[in-house]
């Protein structure tokens, strides 16, 4: 065997080892993540079932982009799409008793504290069903 052929064989052998090592690492990582993916899928299936009608997201409005609201609480945050014609209520107690009044989406401001009734869809998306403004930075009349 001449020197050129030996060099080519060493390079080919190195590339094959590199490819096999990468494939083995990828397979190992995939097998490690598989149980977590199965658990997440099962949780989404349960939360989107007809047995669980809704859940509540609580927090302070940190961002509003179009009809998407980001709620933050204790370092966590979630982005929730506010569907059209969603009922939004503000609890007004200025008259000495608690009265809920219906308001528009525009009434929600950054800094407001909200309870949003949500439903998890089968694809894992979070859908809003109703909103209650608990504490507002804006003024209501």
pLDDT at 52: 74
Mean pLDDT, residues 6-19 taken together: 88
> Does position 136 have pLDDT exceeding 50, yes or no?
yes
43 vs 131: which has the higher pLDDT: 131
The predicted-structure confidence for 87-96, as pLDDT tens digits, reads as follows 999 876 666 6
Architecture of domain 55-135: Beta Barrel (2.40)
pLDDT band for 141, please (50, 70, 90 cuts): very low
**Report field, pTM of the whole predicted structure over 0.75:** no
Mean pLDDT, residues 112-127 taken together: 87
Using an 8 Å Cβ cutoff, are 64 and 73 in contact? Answer: no
Cα separation of 99 and 26, whole Å? 58
Identify the bridge partners of residue 138 per DSSP, sorted by sequence position. Answer: none
Residue-range domain boundaries for the chain: 1-47, 55-135
Is residue 59 left, alpha or beta, with left meaning phi > 0 and alpha meaning psi from -120 to 50?
Answer: left
């Amino acid at each position: 065997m001449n020197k050129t052929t030996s060099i080519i064989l060493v390079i080919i052998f190195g590339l094959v080892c590199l490819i096999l090592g990468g494939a083995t690492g990828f397979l190992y990582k995939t097998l490690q993540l598989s149980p977590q993916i199965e658990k997440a899928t099962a949780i989404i299936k349960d939360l989107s079932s007809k047995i669980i009608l809704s859940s509540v997201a609580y927090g302070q409005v940190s961002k509003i982009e179009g009809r998407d609201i980001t709620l933050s609480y204790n370092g966590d945050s979630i982005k929730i799409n506010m569907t059209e014609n969603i009922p939004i209520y503000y609890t007004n107690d200025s008259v000495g008793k608690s009265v809920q009044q219906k308001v528009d989406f525009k009434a929600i401001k950054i800094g407001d504290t909200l309870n949003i009734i949500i439903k998890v869809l089968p694809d894992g998306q979070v859908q809003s069903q109703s909103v209650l403004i608990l504490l507002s930075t804006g003024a209501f009349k």
